[in-house]
Amino acid sequence: MGLGNDYLMDTFINPLLGMVVFGRFSTLGVIISALVITAVLNICIILGMNLTLIQITKRGVLLGIILIRGIQLQRQRRKFL
């Protein structure tokens, strides 16, 4: 793992989470998602979670966000058809 991998994963998670919650990309969505992700990661660190497990959790969150966004897009397409 390189030095910037933690930050790189966060740069993918924050805008996507903001988009899933608000339905579009917005500055407010990115700020709120950054606060939520930071709070969750801080809780994991306080609980003594292994750093490798934290990375796995971040990747799982990213996959979950992508799956939820895919479901949202399919529902939107069904409305228009």
Compute the mean pLDDT over every residue in the chain, rounded to the nearest whole number.
85
Buried b (16+ CB within 10 A) or exposed e, 15-52: bbbbbbeeeeeeeebbebbbeebeeebeebeeeeeeee
Domain containing 33 equals 5-80
d(CA 22, CA 65): 13
Task: Please write the tens of the pLDDT for every residue from 21-51.
Answer: 888 888 888 898 889 888 988 998 999 999 8
pTM: 0.74
pLDDT for 26 equals 86
pLDDT for 48 equals 93
What total number of domains does the chain contain? 1
